[in-house]
Each structure stands twice: as structure tokens, then as C-alpha cells.
């Protein structure tokens, strides 16, 4: 069964810093991996989807990398802003049978101080 | 833009009541999912559906059932609500299997069972 770990669990940094959020997963047989953002009390917003054949995917100030063989993904946020404060979740999608849904990490709670 | 809507943002029910949570998507997606999210446990898959009238159990189906009579609508049913079903419930949809799809989430329903 896929297990997903996100480190750190929480992070507080001053505005303007570049930061890296880490995600590791135990089963490398994945189709793709999705990064989400969740604001308090709200649903999830998809940020980036990176295919298993890709190494990187970029959207604005966000860059996600994937090293499938080692079971790791990182989300890089450039020039952080207070509006980036949220919980960030990674979710690899497995290629095996079963749920066909995503397996979620518990997230990194990010606070950007003005 | 894909839109996933959930019938209620907040719901308070009494123990033993039958509870219906409704989810509607407007993008003709094949797949729909129900998750619950609890502090420290993350998101867990309850049920999912690949097509109309189809349903599959996720990781924690006990105490729940689902209905999918129309492609755009996926309902989660708590047959007899209990206090341990107090949680945030999230619905999601995606285009279909075999395609590098993203999951899109609704805003969530925070259910309190007293």
C-alpha cells in the first residue's frame, strides 16, 4: 500500500524567501503526482500535475520535480508571498489495481510572514 | 473551468439520522470520489465511481453508502449517523481512467454529528 510522507509538517518563513517542500512515497509505480493547495476550511485546489515520464513541471512561481525511481517529489516556491500561506498536499496516483484514487500526504502547513 | 459543487458547506445532524451529501460536477467527468479529512489522518477515500451505477469501496467504506444515478451527481449516504462521522467531507471528479487526468475538488462539507 502506498504511503506518502511530507516534510516538514509545518514551516514559517518571512516573505520573499524561496522554499522547498518535500514529498516521499513508498511505491514508485505511479502514473503521475499531483500537488494541491488547501486554504483553511476549504476544498483542495490543484496546483500542478506531473506525469511519471516528466522530471519537472512549472506554473508561475511554482516548480514541481519528480524522481520516480527514488520515490521523491519537491515543490519549489519562488519569492514567497503572504498569499501563499496554506497547507500543501502531494498525492501520487498509483498504476496498480484498486481504488485508482490518489494517496495523500498529510501536508505541509506553510505560513509566510509579511 | 471545471466546477465541482457540494450541496452544503456546513451541516449539523443528530446521532441516528440518515444523512445525504450531494456532489455535482459540470464537466462530464467519468470518475467521482468521496473523501473524508480529519486532523492528523489526512484525506481518506470512502467510495468512488467510474461510471453511472458503478461504485467501488475505498479505504474506509464502513458506515457509508453511495449512489450515482446520473453521471454528474454522486451522493454519499450515512445510513445512521454517528459522532465518529463528524468530519470534513470532500468530493472530487476526474475525466476518466487511462488518461493522465487531474482530480478537481469541491469546497467541502463540514459535518457535525451530535
Q: For A47-61, what is each residue's pLDDT tens digit? A: 999 988 999 999 999
The percentage of chain A sitting over the pLDDT mark of 90, rounded to a whole number, equals 77
* CA distance readout (Å), B18 to B25, B76, B78: 23, 11, 6
pLDDT tier at A98, thresholds 50, 70, 90? very low
* Alpha carbon distance B108, B49 (integer Å): 18
Q: Are B66 and B58 in contact (CB under 8 A)?
A: no
The predicted structure's pLDDT at residue A81 = 97
Q: Which of residues 13-32 of A touch B (CB under 8 A)?
A: 31-32
Mean pLDDT of B80-89: 97
Chain B residue with CA closest to A32: the answer is B100
* Alpha carbon distance B54, B67 (integer Å): 9
CB contact under 8 A, A100 and B102: no
The predicted structure's pLDDT at residue B77 = 98
Whether A42 contacts chain B with CB within 8 A = yes
Which of A3, A39, A43 is the best residue to mutate to test the B interface, defined by the most B CB atoms within 10 Å of its own CB? Answer: A43
Q: Which of residues 73-102 of A touch B (CB under 8 A)?
A: 89, 91, 99-102
Higher pLDDT, A76 or B94: A76
DSSP state at residue B80: S
Which of A39, A93, A101 is the best residue to mutate to test the B interface, defined by the most B CB atoms within 10 Å of its own CB? Answer: A101
Higher pLDDT, A112 or B1: A112
The predicted structure's pLDDT at residue A97 = 43
The predicted structure's pLDDT at residue A93 = 87
Chain B residue with CA closest to A34: the answer is B102
The predicted structure's pLDDT at residue B100 = 60
* Alpha carbon distance B40, B78 (integer Å): 23
pLDDT at B103 over 80: yes
Higher pLDDT, B2 or B40: B40
- Tell me the average pLDDT of chain B: 92
Going by C-alpha positions, the residue among A106, A35, A93 that lies closest to residue A64 is A35
CB contact under 8 A, B105 and A49: no
What residues of B are in contact with residue A49 (Cβ under 8 Å)? Answer: 100, 102
Mean pLDDT of A97-113: 81
Mean pLDDT of A79-100: 83
What residues of B are in contact with residue A105 (Cβ under 8 Å)? Answer: 42
| Helix/strand/coil for A70 | helix
CA angle A33, B37, A86 (to 5 degrees): 65
The predicted structure's pLDDT at residue A37 = 97
pLDDT tier at B96, thresholds 50, 70, 90? confident
Whether B33 contacts chain A with CB within 8 A = yes
* CA distance readout (Å), B90 to A24, A47, B9: 24, 17, 10
CB contact under 8 A, B100 and A49: yes
pLDDT at A96 over 60: no
Least confident window among A91-100, B67-76, B92-101: A91-100
Least confident window among A10-14, A99-103, B16-20, B56-60: A99-103
Q: Are A2 and A24 in contact (CB under 8 A)?
A: no
Taking CB atoms within 8 Å and a gap of at least 24, the contacts of A27-31 are: A27/A1, A27/A2, A27/A3, A27/A71, A27/A92, A27/A94, A27/A96, A28/A68, A28/A69, A28/A70, A28/A71, A29/A94, A29/A95, A29/A96, A30/A68, A30/A92, A30/A93, A30/A94, A30/A95, A31/A93, A31/A94, A31/A95, A31/B100
The predicted structure's pLDDT at residue A95 = 63
Amino acid at each position: 500500500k502506498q504511503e506518502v510522507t511530507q516534510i516538514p509538517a509545518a514551516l514559517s518563513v518571512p516573505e520573499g524567501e524561496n522554499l522547498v517542500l518535500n514529498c516521499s512515497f513508498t511505491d514508485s509505480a505511479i502514473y503521475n503526482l499531483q500537488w494541491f493547495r488547501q486554504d483553511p476550511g476549504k476544498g483542495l485546489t490543484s496546483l500542478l500535475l506531473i506525469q511519471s515520464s516528466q522530471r519537472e513541471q512549472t506554473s508561475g512561481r511554482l516548480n514541481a520535480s519528480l524522481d520516480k525511481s527514488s520515490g521523491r517529489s519537491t515543490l519549489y516556491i519562488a519569492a514567497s508571498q503572504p498569499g501563499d500561506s496554506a497547507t500543501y498536499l502531494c498525492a501520487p496516483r498509483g498504476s496498480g489495481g484498486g481504488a485508482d484514487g490518489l494517496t495523500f500526504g498529510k501536508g505541509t502547513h506553510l505560513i509566510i510572514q509579511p | 473551468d471545471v466546477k465541482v459543487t457540494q450541496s452544503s458547506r456546513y451541516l449539523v445532524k443528530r446521532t441516528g439520522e440518515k444523512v445525504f451529501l450531494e456532489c455535482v460536477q459540470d464537466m462530464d467527468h467519468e470518475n467521482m470520489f468521496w473523501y473524508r479529512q480529519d486532523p492528523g489522518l489526512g484525506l481518506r477515500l470512502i467510495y468512488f465511481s467510474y461510471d453511472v451505477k458503478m461504485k467501488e469501496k475505498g479505504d474506509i467504506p464502513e458506515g457509508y453508502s453511495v449512489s450515482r444515478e446520473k453521471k454528474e451527481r454522486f451522493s454519499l449516504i450515512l445510513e445512521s449517523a454517528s459522532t465518529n462521522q463528524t468530519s470534513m467531507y470532500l468530493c472530487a471528479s476526474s475525466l476518466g481512467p487511462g488518461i493522465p487526468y487531474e482530480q478537481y475538488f469541491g469546497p467541502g462539507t463540514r459535518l457535525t454529528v451530535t
